[in-house]
Amino acid sequence: MIGPDTVLLAFVLFCRIGGCLMLMPGFSSSRIPVQVRLFVAVAITLALAPVLVPVLQKALPDLSPQRQLALLVSETMVGALVGLMGRLFFMALQFMATAAAMFIGFGTMPGAPIEDSEPVPAFATIVTLTATVLFFLTEQHWEVLRALLGSYSALPVTEFIAIEFSLGKLTDALSSAFLLALQVSSPFIVYALIINLTVGIASKLVPQIPVYFISLPFVLAGGLIMLYFTIGETLRLFVTGFMAWLAAG
């Protein structure tokens, strides 16, 4: 029989799961209606409740009203921490993809806002949107649910979330995210250094010719050719790195 205590514990589960999905890439997209995201969070909560509610009943035999409020706040913060760490990887990828677009001359052409509410270069939109699609095609959303299940062992509900622990986890995730994003965007960084050095030397040798404006179409063409040959490996490295972080985290 479902009693008030069971409903309360299910809501405690919803706080952590909803907080995670609120920030997790793919699930938190502004293109998904809020009602749909809410129903997904409720559905996942109800699916995991038969497994987790008995665990919470043993860990929380009696809850006072003050303890209930603190528990709801703590669980929401834990879920938001897990979701934010996952989102940092995609934010780092978008940042480096925007930088790569500027390196090859596409940074001045903003595209339509697809994944976020603000427009970013079409180059960055292609990379980040494809990475989000691969996030679901490689079934990493199931790994997110596994991470949520594992979080009840690493961060039990009986303990309030520690600020130092949260900041340490965020720092580690941010470091791993930008290191991975730097690795996948390194060909464009090297390409930009070589091109700028070449154009700078040419402009010094023939100052009468506007080398920069003449070379711009060739720089754009070279960037597109590099994107054609590296986009597959770039996305594979990113998805593999993100999968490794999910498995280890």
pLDDT digits (tens, 9 = 90+) for 33-56: 888 888 888 888 888 888 887 877
Q: How many domains does the chain have?
A: 1
Range of the domain at 103: 4-248
The percent of residues in the chain predicted with pLDDT above 90, rounded, is 0
Confidence of residue 149 (pLDDT cuts 50, 70, 90): confident
Provide the token pair at 183: 């690795």
How far is residue 84's CA from residue 87's CA, in Å, rounded to a whole number? 5
Within 13 Å, how many C-alpha atoms sit on residue 92's CB side?
22
Tell me if 94 sits within 8 A of 128, measured CB to CB: yes
Query: Is the per-residue pLDDT at 135 higher than 60?
Result: yes
Cα end-to-end span (Å), the chain: 36
Tell me if 211 sits within 8 A of 202, measured CB to CB: yes
Whole-number average pLDDT of the chain: 81
Tell me if 62 sits within 8 A of 34, measured CB to CB: no
Tell me if 79 sits within 8 A of 15, measured CB to CB: yes
80 in helix, strand or coil? Answer: helix
